[in-house]
Amino acid sequence: MRIKNNVKKDTLKISILVFIGITVFSSCDNNDIGGDRNENQLTNGYFGPSVSVSWEQVYNKIEISDDGQNCYYSAYNGNALLVYNNAIDEEGTISESGKLEFIIGTPVNTLSIYDNWVSWFLKHGGWDSVTSSSYDVQSTNLGLSTNVSESNYLDKTVETYTAISDTEYIHTYDNILYTYVDRDVIITAKGKTLNHEDRDNITIQKYSNASLHLKQGWNAIYSKSIRKCFNNNGILNVEDSFSIFIGDSSVVKWVIIDHNR
């Protein structure tokens, strides 16, 4: 019996994507990006007072099925100016060959009280025992779109969909958010395991403990979700795992996403 993914896709998305404004989520073949996204691919997630990207390739996500479970990434060959959605007064471009360049320094007049992460952890339901070393930290997140379309956001993200057999598959999603804080802060949360069961589905969601040690300046916050599905005597078994930590990766690519879709 071939698996049909009739479990709500929102249960797979680590809800941090909602917090940072990402609304597109699908299962993709990783044809043009490649790479094994594991802890060995992680690099330092602390950038200091400025963060820069130089000549990194931008990609389009091309969907080839209505359900979003078949897609691939292709190199973007256009050019565009970057629009900073949080009004950061800096310049950035995508060149005619689809290469991304920007330098962003200390944000001016765009910082607000840094309580969003604490509120999000508490609201989400996958974590409890949330603590913060400071509740008056000022912060902002880097949001990028292009001047081609206000809905064309530039996200640092990558997805893969691997069919093990007709009755088993693995779907992974990695996303990196750049965030600025005006002083050091530590956010911690204890992950929970949630179980959901009905006549057709058994779902287990496992949330890893979180410990975000953010340093003054720009930081890379890495969120990762993995879904494993298999069929057991006609019952769809789903195992979801979610984690969030500090780290960057050159394997996770800059992708133009249409947020109106």
- Per-residue pLDDT tens digits of the chain, which is 261 residues long: 445 544 444 444 443 343 333 323 334 544 444 333 454 478 999 999 999 999 999 999 877 665 556 678 899 998 888 887 654 556 689 987 899 999 888 887 778 876 567 777 877 789 999 999 988 888 888 888 888 776 788 999 998 888 888 889 999 999 999 999 999 999 999 999 999 998 889 999 999 999 999 999 999 999 999 999 999 888 999 999 999 999 999 889 999 987 766
Residue 100 pLDDT: 94
Confirm whether 4 is domain-assigned.
no
Confirm whether 84 is domain-assigned.
yes
- Report whether 3 contacts 234 (CB < 8 A): no
The encoded tokens of residue 1 equal: 């019996």
Residue 65 pLDDT: 60
**Cα gap 23→207, rounded to integer Å:** 21
Confirm whether 152 is domain-assigned.
yes
Confirm whether 188 is domain-assigned.
yes
Confirm whether 119 is domain-assigned.
yes
Confirm whether 2 is domain-assigned.
no
Residue 120 pLDDT: 76
Our count of domains for the chain comes to 1
**Cα gap 46→29, rounded to integer Å:** 30
Residue 124 pLDDT: 77
Confirm whether 3 is domain-assigned.
no
Residue 161 pLDDT: 86
Residue 13 pLDDT: 44
Confirm whether 1 is domain-assigned.
no
**Cα gap 77→222, rounded to integer Å:** 27
Provide the 3-class DSSP secondary structure of residue 237.
strand
Strand residues in the chain grouped as ranges (E): 46-48, 51-63, 71-75, 80-84, 92-94, 99-104, 112-113, 127-132, 138-141, 144-146, 152-165, 168-181, 185-191, 193-197, 201-207, 210-214, 217-232, 235-246, 253-258
Range of the domain at 246: 9-258
